[in-house]
Chains A and B, each alone.
Chain A
Amino acid sequence: MNTFKWLMKREYWEHKGGLFWAPTVIGVLMMAMMLVTFVIALGSGKMHGDFTVNGVQMHSLAEMISPADRIQVADGLSTVFVGSAIPLLAVMSFVVFFYYLGALFDDRSNRSVLFWKSLPVSDTATVLSKLATALVVAPLLSLGIATIVGFVLTVLMCACLLVGGVNLFGPVLSNSHTYTLPLEFLASLPVYILWALPTAGWLLMVSAWARTKPFLWAVGVPLVSGGLLSWANAMLSMNWNLQFLWQSVIGRLLLSVLPGSWSFLLEDPSKISADSLDHGSPMVAAWHVMATPQIWIGAVVGIAMIVVAIRLRRFRDEG
């Protein structure tokens, strides 16, 4: 639908800083730091010292390195994408969190909501465009930038090793991980979207409801109520099992927008963390989450809160 396309553009115009510039700047910084490290390493005479790739310490390189090490280093280098994606996705989580918190609040507090409401755009479309911007556009941009950064870092590392006399371009560039890891992350996006719905819904709902200080409401209410219950539990020796509350309610309300947060928010993550990030398949690990009831219950609760957010947006009197 055409209106929806323009609503998404609108969100991008407003939040270009968080959606595009934040990951871009972080990515450029990562590449610059790597470059500076290598220049210093090269400048300080060969490649002595504490230069570690994937647990293998490399001193004066070529002669030190065994064929087995070569394979291990090449394997390590082919997963550099993960290293570039993790900081970018962590930053994205912050961006998404605060984006939702302000999504239905900022235009009410700066009074521009009445301009948006003077146009023939339904409140449902408005809220859904904001939901989609953070859950689809933000991860796609971050993964895109992570892919570029990961590739540049890989090439930089290989080039640096080449200066040291070890040519790993062949093994690294022919290692399928170099190419499949970004695709695996991409293929995990549907899991992330469903998983993040409770936090998205909660923050959108508070954002549509709060008259002031949405952050305090969104974060304060769950933490204070959890804290009070924990305190009562301890003081009165109630023996309630509050792990469920902290993990599956409060944690899910506040932390689900962090990609991979299922690894610590599920009660029994061992099932899915069997495939670790580097050497297993992150995609398979992510899709295991789809088999848990938690993701589906969370999604239903999240959607219910989004419906509430839409109704608040529609009927809240901006008096």
Chain B
Amino acid sequence: MNSVISAKGLTKRYGKQVAVDNVSFEIPAGRIIGLIGPNGSGKTTALKAILGLAPFEGELKVLGFDPSTQRDELMQQVCFIADVAILPRWLKVKDAVDFVAGVHPKFDRAKAERYLAHTKLKPGMKVKEMSKGMIVQLHLALVMAIDAKLLVLDEPTLGLDIMFRKQFYQNLLEDYFDEDKTIIVTTHQVEEIEHILSDLMFIQDGKIILSASMDEVGERFAEVMVNADKADAARALNPIDERQVFGKSVMLFDGVPRAQLATLGETRNVGIADLFVAKMKGTYA
């Protein structure tokens, strides 16, 4: 079993609306994948299929299990935070820790308590007394203490301030991740996860429009600050995006060798956010 997730012809329809359109992909173990797409692009639907939360068409194996028929077995190995998941208002911090410790064989209570110690949460506190950020902190402390083979994080840091977001991704990389684990993250704050990702997957209108490792992305895509006199030569190379900065054109190229680009102007690696905007052009139009 090399792939953690293997999908062939994965399709999900809501009535006539196709949310995920005949998608095939393989995700190997030991990767941190950023699943990036605009709202309504089908990423949450795809994640729901992977987690056995929604029926789907096509073939899908997660850790060797079929999520639609073997969800109970699968959930021993998988953990997730759904973008809209909310902890129930009546739940107390200490009860939440007790409960997860009671039902999850791979929960490390000491770890959860260590995370909680860095927050303002108190054991007797109920969710209804917490701010939105504190609820997310509790949820993350619980999930991060579970030693799951696959962790799916759908907008995990919504409502957290920047200090805690940075800390969270740092912990995720240093404390949680290892070569046996796979993490799938979606977020709108792309630039914050850029440095921890190993792979990138762009999804648009239910289709995967880009799937590459970060190394490949670095090799394929480059941004060039083009000198005005070379603009026409640069445009001849079909940049996938062009914008103006201080009177100069910044162009984004796909698959043009660096050496060639260097003759046009100053080159640099492209950020995911810029790449995303370039790739998604038209979606928001």
Contacts and interface: CB of A to CB of B under 8 A. Distances in A.
B196 interface: no
B86 A118 contact: no
Top 8 nearest A-B pairs by Cβ distance?
A: A6-B102, A114-B85, A114-B82, A112-B88, A120-B75, A317-B54, A111-B86, A122-B72
B210 to A, nearest CB: 26
Contacts of A5: 102
A81 to B, nearest CB: 33
A2 B103 CA distance: 7
Given A14-B88, A120-B103, A317-B53, A115 B139 contact: yes
B189 to A, nearest CB: 21
Interface in A94-151: 107, 110-112, 114-115, 117-122
B237 to A, nearest CB: 43
A314 B69 CA distance: 10
B26 to A, nearest CB: 24
Contact of A7 (B55, B71, B103): B103
Nearest to A5: B102
A319 B99 contact: no
Interface residues on B, range: 20 to 34
A110 B100 contact: no
Given A111-B85, A112-B88, A319-B14, A117 B103 contact: no
Contacts of A14: 88, 90
Q: With a 10 A CB-CB cut-off, give which of A10, A14, A122 has the most chain B CB atoms.
A: A10
Nearest to B79: A118
B88 A107 contact: yes
Contacts of A110: 86, 88-89
B266 interface: no
B117 interface: no
B278 to A, nearest CB: 30
Interface string A1-16: 0110111011001100
A63 interface: no
Given A317-B54, A319-B14, A319-B54, A112 B85 contact: yes
A315 B76 contact: no
Contacts of B88: 14, 107, 110, 112, 115
A50 interface: no
Interface in A268-319: 314-315, 317-319
Given A112-B86, A114-B80, A120-B104, 11 more contacts: A3-B102, A5-B102, A7-B103, A112-B87, A112-B88, A115-B82, A119-B103, A119-B104, A122-B72, A317-B54, A317-B55
B92 interface: yes
B257 to A, nearest CB: 45
Q: With a 10 A CB-CB cut-off, give which of A3, A110, A112, A119 has the most chain B CB atoms.
A: A119
A318 to B, nearest CB: 7
Interface in B55-107: 55, 71-72, 75-76, 79-82, 84-92, 95, 98-100, 102-105
